[in-house]
Chain A
Amino acid sequence: MKHVIVGAGPSGVIAAETLRKVDPTSSIIMIGDEPEPPYSRMALPYYLIEKIKEEGTHLRKGASHFSNKDIDIIRDRVSTVDPKNKSLNLEQHDAINYDKLLIATGSHPISPPIEGIDLPGIHSCWTLEDGRNIVKKAKPGSNVVLMGAGFIGCIILESLALRKVNLTVIEMGDRMVPRMMDQTAGNMIKSWCQDKGVSVHTSTRVEAIEKGSGESLKVKLDNGEVLDADLVISATGVAANIQFLEGSGLETDAGVLVNDRLQSNISDIYAAGDVCQGKDFSTGEYSVQAIQPTAADHGRIAAMNMAGKDTVHQGCVNMNVLDTMGLISSSYGLWMGTDGGESAKLSDNDRYRYLSLSFEDDVMVGAQAVGLTQHVGVLRGLIQTKLSLGKWKDHLIKDPTRIMEAYLANTQAIGHNAGVI
């Protein structure tokens, strides 16, 4: 059996390793178009603050990790997929055949339709190469404009601030991380960042970028303001890398369409990670989540199915954790709540603390937390196990901080419950 994986990010790597475990005699080829060994974009912010060196971003340590597992890595780009002949055309290498194919090509940053967006001095923060460029240009005292306060924008905030640049953030939504946190939390994060000396403009758009004097740029906002910038970072969103699949017959929407085995409409082709429109645990619908835990789950499950071990994907809980200059926030599942569902909220603006839990009947379906680092994972546990909370739902509505107690009281045989004394 010959497995070919297109993409060398977390999904591709986990799929390759899983395949090696469950299909030991197979041949496994992983194709990636970046020059570095497989690395993690999640680690880039920590590379920017020089907490780690480049090697620290690598998904697997040890130069021979992949060759030890007999996983071949080809550095190239796939230009087209030919499902009829079960072959891939590469830009530089000869075409290769596959028995089973995994599309794990991830996503790419999208450029907003703004005049001047192609000028030199405007970078995205997506690849290691982007990271190197930002490190070079974000010098102390330089003016940096960050377009977009979504997850990626926010996660690089600290690295920029630590480089002592004059930082301005422009977000068109009415709060920071609008797709991850509600009004209360998003505004709490905004005021935290402003307190730390970052200028944050929400409900604001960049209208155009023009050349300024020397190498500097002028960033024109829709409120009439014009900002001088030595460096503009564009973090306005990502889109799945599906362009090369055009004409292949593979069905795509926001990503590659798959069933609950992560199998595409063509039976020998699977998809995983940011490029995959997979099942969402909370909604039951198929969407692109583009998060690390989902990429890892997809990689493993797709590989099991490719190896002929039928494995159903139950759906991933959409969740994120973010550190904006020391303020830690997280959200899970249907964090925005549901129609007719109850919720429990606790907030303390002065201390930057917020906890919001959403319920349907007596089951937790979503949660948001700001300033909470202890036992946050149990929020995922409560949601994903659909634990019936019984009287503990009322306890949580009175005091949302008792999430661990709610979990333990309903899952552990405790004291007299256990009937062992």
Chain B
Amino acid sequence: MLRSLQIEPEKCTGCLQCEMACSYQAEGVFNPSKSRIKIFTFHDEGRFVPYTCTQCTEAWCLHACPVEAIVINEATGAKEVIDDICVGCKVCTIACPFGTVNYNQETAVVQKCDLCGGDPECAKACPTQAITYVDSDHSGLERMRAHAAQNLPQDNA
């Protein structure tokens, strides 16, 4: 059964433990700027929003790659960058409309979330369960319900 990262921003406290865990897993250093998951801060509203690749079905990055350096991991469904094949042309970074593939100038290849091969560190590091790794069929259900409720006529809501 495919699993996905479920992100519930309302539970995020902005502690950045996910960024630290991701950076350590992916690059071997504790450096949030190397993280594949990012916390965006909304100071005015006092909100924090974790955001990373949704492993979208459309896979814009994969289709834009000229050298087949982005492939689907059949076990996890993740779109993974093969560093040895990536030439660093960056076409995927402008093709991904979610902005979740980034070029790393130090390694000269692109980087994106690969779900840590099926055991995502960000979800394990999150102390408030703002990031969980759940059955794909269930991710986003609460938000869909809330969104649907918002769109109901006022007197029925």
In the complex, the answer to whether A377 meets B98 with C-beta atoms within 8 Å is yes
- Please indicate the chain B residues that have their CB under 8 angstroms from the CB of A403 in the complex: 99
Contact A414 B98 (CB under 8 A): no
Could you tell me which A residues sit within 8 Å of B by CB distance? 10, 14, 40, 42-43, 46, 51-52, 56-61, 292-293, 296-297, 300, 319-321, 323, 326, 328, 330, 332, 373-381, 384-385, 403-405, 407-409, 412-416, 418-421
- Check B68 against A61 for contact (C-beta < 8 Å): yes
Surface stretch bound by A, among B16-24, B100-108, B120-128: B100-108
Interface set, chain B 139-154, CB cutoff 8 A to A:
142-143, 145-147, 149-150
Write the nearest CB–CB distance from B37 to chain A, whole angstroms.
12
**B97 and A378 form a contact (CB under 8 A):** yes
Bound together, the chains give a CA A60 to CA B99 distance in angstroms of: 25
Closest 4 CB pairs of A and B: A378-B99, A381-B97, A375-B99, A40-B66
Which residues from chain A contact B26 at a C-beta distance below 8 Å? none
Contacts of B102 in A (CB 8 A): 373-376
Does B88 have its Cβ within 8 Å of any Cβ on chain A?
Answer: yes
- List 26 A–B pairs whose Cβ atoms lie within 8 Å, in order of A's numbering: A46-B87, A56-B85, A58-B67, A320-B94, A321-B91, A321-B93, A323-B88, A332-B94, A373-B103, A373-B104, A375-B99, A375-B100, A375-B102, A376-B94, A377-B98, A379-B99, A381-B97, A381-B99, A404-B51, A405-B41, A408-B40, A412-B9, A412-B51, A414-B47, A418-B10, A420-B145
Instruction: Check B89–A43 contact: CB distance below 8 A.
Output: yes
- Measured between alpha carbons, how far is A332 from B105 in the docked complex, in Å? 21
B residues in contact with A412, CB < 8 Å: 9, 49, 51
Q: Are A60 and B68 closer than 8 Å at their CB atoms?
A: yes
- Least Cβ–Cβ distance between B31 and chain A, in angstroms: 14
Interface size on B, residues (CB 8 A): 45
Choose from A14, A46, A420 the contact partner of B142 (Cβ within 8 Å). Answer: A420
Would you call B96 an interface residue if the criterion is a C-beta within 8 Å of the partner chain's C-beta atoms?
A: yes
Q: Give the distance to chain A from B19, nearest Cβ to Cβ, in Å.
A: 13
Give the Cβ gap from B59 to chain A, nearest Cβ, in Å.
11
A376 to chain B, nearest CB (A): 6
Set A56, A332, A374, A418: member contacting B67, Cβ < 8 A = A56
Is the Cβ of B67 less than 8 Å from the Cβ of A405?
A: no
Indicate if the CB atoms of B67 and A326 lie closer than 8 Å.
Answer: no
Contact yes or no, B67 A420, CB < 8 A: no
Known contacts A59-B67, A373-B103, A52 near B94 by CB under 8 Å:
no
In the bound assembly, the distance between CA atoms of A328 and B85 in angstroms comes to 20
Smallest CB–CB gap between A43 and chain B, Å?
5
Give the distance to chain B from A35, nearest Cβ to Cβ, in Å.
19
With A377-B94, A381-B97 known to touch, is A42 a contact of B89 (CB < 8 Å)?
yes
- Kindly provide the distance from the CB of B63 to the nearest chain A CB, expressed in whole angstroms: 5
Please indicate which of the listed interface residues B85, B99, B101, B145 has the most CB atoms of chain A within 10 Å of its own CB: B99
Known contacts A46-B89, A373-B103; is-contact A57 B67 (Cβ 8 Å): yes
Known: A373-B103, A376-B94, A380-B94. A59 touches B89 (CB 8 A): no
Q: Which residues of A contact B101 (CB under 8 A)?
A: 377
A379 shortest CB reach to chain B, Å: 8
Give the residue name and chain of the B residue nearest to A332 (CB): B94
B residues within 8 A CB of A59?
66-68
Residue contact A46 to B93, C-beta cutoff 8 Å: no
B137 contacts partner chain A, Cβ-Cβ < 8 Å? no
